[in-house]
Amino acid sequence: MILWFLTGNKGKLSEASALFSEYGIEVKQLEASITEPQSDDIEEVAKAKMAQALDYLPDKNDLLLVEDAGLFIDSLNGFPGVFSAYALQTIGSEGILRLMGHLQSEDPIQDSHLRKAEFQAVAVLHIAGETLVGRGICPGRIAHKPSEGEGFGFDPIFIPSDLDALGEALGPGELGDVSTHGLPFGAIDSVQKHLFSHRARALSSLMVMMNERRENLK
Ligand code: IMP
């Protein structure tokens, strides 16, 4: 089974390939010229991109995936949110850190609250004429300085919250069974990122829906 992923981002492509390969689905990059929709809702953005990308699907039986994500920072009233790609191109991670320069505390819990943020992802899958929507959230906080290492986008400045034994994210400053020990996404490998990631959660919820449909067809 082939799944076309509308993305220009190699980091996202490799994260999705790793996930879907476990289900025997080959992920290929779909290149299409589409207009970036204007909306303050990432689900609307993803669905509008899907509507345009369907025309580029090589075979109508193939699957099509569109995913949209954003970084929402509490103290900046959700900025950059749907403008994440634009913020990254213009002010970059360093600009975000400058905007938050005054938000810090000696107390680690207070500091986590002041710098609270979350990644949100919506993944829309076109499968057999149906559209499935998966959502994922990764709560965390913004680091004080960027990390060096792997990752893309805001990975160098985003530290995910710890997870409990069931994989559920904990609140700011809470210690859990799974932790990056204060390291941002940019300083951990993709296998570890996968445990926390908004995209992994959105794609996993899509897979649950796909499996339910397969079961129903049996
Ligand atoms: P997009 O519109 O879904 O591509 O995402 C908006 C912006 O958020 C892009 O600039 C991405 O680089 C960034 N972004 C999305 N997901 C991640 C992530 O997992 N890590 C870091 N940055 C991300």
Numbers of helices and strands, H then E, in the chain: 7, 7
User: Can you give the residue range of the structural domain that contains 137?
Assistant: 2-217
Q: What is the pLDDT of residue 218?
A: 61
Give catalytic residue positions: 68
What CATH number does the domain containing 76 carry? 3.90.950.10
Ligand 1 near 152 CB (within 6 A): yes
Ligand 1 near 154 CB (within 6 A): yes
**Residue 204 CB coordination number (10 Å):** 16
pLDDT in tens, 117-140: 999 999 999 998 899 999 999 999
Which tops the pLDDT comparison, 218 or 206? 206
Q: What is the pLDDT of residue 11?
A: 82
In angstroms, the CA 195 to CA 185 distance is 11
Q: Is 78 exposed, middle or buried (0-12, 13-18, 19+ CB in 10 A)?
A: middle
Q: Say what the alpha-carbon torsion angle 111, 114, 112, 108 is, to the nearest 10 degrees.
A: 10
pLDDT in tens, 160-204: 999 999 999 999 889 999 999 999 999 998 889 999 999 999 999
Question: How many angstroms separate the alpha carbon of residue 86 from the centre of ligand 1?
Answer: 10
Ligand 1 near 162 CB (within 6 A): no
**Residue 85 CB coordination number (10 Å):** 15
Indicate the residue type of 180: T
Q: What is the pLDDT of residue 68?
A: 94
Question: How many angstroms separate the alpha carbon of residue 69 from the centre of ligand 1?
Answer: 6
Q: Which atom of ligand 1 is nearest to the CA of 71?
A: 8
Ligand 1 near 13 CB (within 6 A): no
Give the mean model confidence (pLDDT) for residues 78-86.
95
Sign of CA dihedral 136, 142, 146, 149: negative
Q: What is the pLDDT of residue 159?
A: 97
Going by pLDDT thresholds of 50, 70 and 90, the confidence category of residue 77 is very high
Ligand 1 near 70 CB (within 6 A): yes
pLDDT in tens, 36-64: 888 889 999 999 999 999 999 998 889 99
| Percent share of the chain, pLDDT over 70 | 98
pLDDT higher than 90, residue 71 = yes
Question: How many angstroms separate the alpha carbon of residue 119 from the centre of ligand 1?
Answer: 8
What contacts 24+ positions apart, CB below 8 Å, involve 104-110? Answer: 104/144, 108/173, 109/172, 109/173
Cis peptide before 184 (omega within 30 of 0): no
Total tally of structural domains belonging to the chain: 1
